[in-house]
Amino acid sequence: MATLEKKALQGGEWLIRDTDCQDIFIAENWNEEQLMIAQTSREFVEKEIHPLLDRIDSMEEGLVPSLMDRAGELGLLAISTPEQYGGMGASFNTGLLTSEAVGGAHSFSVAISAHTGIGTLPIQYYGNEAQRSKYLPKLATGEWKAAYALTEPSAGSDANSGKTKAVLNAAGTHYVINGQKMWITNSGFANVFVVFAKIDDDANLSAFIVEGDSEGITLNAEEKKMGIKGSSTRQVFFNNVQVPVENLLSERGNGFKIAVNILNIGRIKLGAAALGACKQIITKSVKYANEREQFGRPIAKYGAIRHKLAQQAIWTYTCEAATYRAGQDIEDCIESLIAGGLDPEEAKVKGVASYAIECAILKVYGSEAVDFVIDEGVQIYGGMGYSAEAPMERGYRDARINRIFEGTNEINRMLTVDMMLKKAMKGELDLMGPGQKVMGELMSIPDFGDEDNALFAAEKKYIKNFKKAALLVAGAAVQKLMMTLSKEQEILMNIADVLIGLYVAESTLLRVEKLVSQRGEAACQTQIDMAQVYIHDVADSIWKNGKDALESFAEGDELRMMMMGLKRFTKTAPYNSKEARRRIAAVIIDQNKYPWV
């Protein structure tokens, strides 16, 4: 128990506290069972999904449901379901690893993720015993498929403004639901919908378990989309649909809270799925680069291509570091809550909610990582990258949705800052003390002490300074703008990008530091290169975002003083990133695949 308490920093607390590398989980430390689950998932995708991608995208009748059945037979739908309901009851991080392993399955990854995540988890986390016993075993095997009906034509990011209504009938036995939902994944074959509606004139949504064969449910035709064409996406209409009162999920008016907490899980799972797609894309990219010859030699020999391969790998490795750091923090928090006597499912809800900031960060970073990686993959393929005959074209279209669903990246950026500040206002996170200390440091003489030449000493100092930069910019914005800050979305997004870069940089450094402690420095040179390149790049990003934010609201001597501080906190020593990227690319090219975990 003491170990759990030591490890479990509160969500967002990394901004003001240091973390010991031994207190985080790194992907190099998966156990044998976890690796076996991941391998089973990858083999399923490679052997049973990839050969059928064209047929899946053509929406062949019954194909995706039959593949879901097969996934159920292999146990892939039951990873996170409790054992008493026919599941595996695996850890939170194991669930993320499974999301990663199926992340390269294109449209099918959307179907399976929606089923196991937002479709099943509301019942698992918020259902009563009767509801769990009735639905979870069938969802775990795939006998029943699940969908999540939240979005409406006039209610997207503002989910609580939905107009779907539920009215209790005169006999008090059923709620009668009327309304319209749109962009509902798996709707074409779902047996179970988790539907959000307002009872009477309630201010907040309630949630209901609605069976797909209920009278009064009708579906529009499948939406024609830019990508994920094989994912069933329809509008769903509810016309006097009678839902038994016992199918109210949780309590009346608790639907918005359910939606928010389930979306937190969906966000970090999306980051993990994007990670799996990144690894697959890099492997295809390097194989093509090694085979494609121009001017008498493989294009992998050229510096421009090597730069792209290295950057693809850096985005991917850093995403992995942050994803599983956060996943294990969530798991540790859950275990601590259970040890304190909380119901396991309630503990899972609270554990994830505690790290909503990190979930939002990873949704943004993962979705933008896969967009970057696939864009460079298209470029490496050249003309063939634009051809539907080659694999990059489908990946390019399919990746684009990730920056939109589970809350747009703009919404998630603003949520990252909003949640951090709300934690501070509630006294859950002491930002004021460290922030005032940073402001006081602006008036002091910089420390020009002796340089520490120990491994990672410089990088640790950079991370400490990046935290000061974040506190400087965010603190100044709050102090200057106060209640109007929420309307300054450009500034909020600047601050969010500072926080995202900082969290990912620290996670990557901690991952590599822990790996070096286990394998030795000589065995980790490429990982060290990736951490150092990313940290130097992030220094520039924090400077630019901090500068843009400060110049938006400060002026005169105040601005000059803060800009001097920001420059001090983002300063790094000269570093030859070109040579580091060449070393990273050489490893990928030599192994002809993405070689790390």
Catalytic residue among 406, 459, 506, 513: 406
Please state, in angstroms and rounded to a whole number, the distance separating the CA atoms of residues 541 and 483: 27
For residue 12, the one-letter residue type is G
Q: Exposed (0-12), middle (13-18) or buried (19+): which is 172, by Cβ within 10 Å?
A: exposed
Q: Exposed (0-12), middle (13-18) or buried (19+): which is 473, by Cβ within 10 Å?
A: buried
Please state, in angstroms and rounded to a whole number, the distance separating the CA atoms of residues 150 and 197: 8
Q: What three-state secondary structure class fits 148? A: strand
Please state, in angstroms and rounded to a whole number, the distance separating the CA atoms of residues 535 and 451: 18
Cβ proximity of 71 and 64 under 8 Å: no
| Phi, psi of 193, deg, nearest 5 | -115, 135
Is 335 a known active-site residue? Answer: no
Burial 118-152 (b: 16+ CB within 10 A, else e): bbbbbbbbbbeeebbebbbbbbbbbebbbbbbbbb
Residue whose tokens read 């694999």: 391
Please state, in angstroms and rounded to a whole number, the distance separating the CA atoms of residues 206 and 113: 23
Residue whose tokens read 């864009």: 375
User: Would you list the DSSP string of 517-562?
Assistant: HHH-GGGGHHHHHHHHHHHHHHHHHHHHHHHHHHHHH--HHHHHHH
What's the Cα-to-Cα distance from 517 to each of 20, 344, 533, rounded to whole Å?
Answer: 12, 34, 20
Catalytic positions are 406
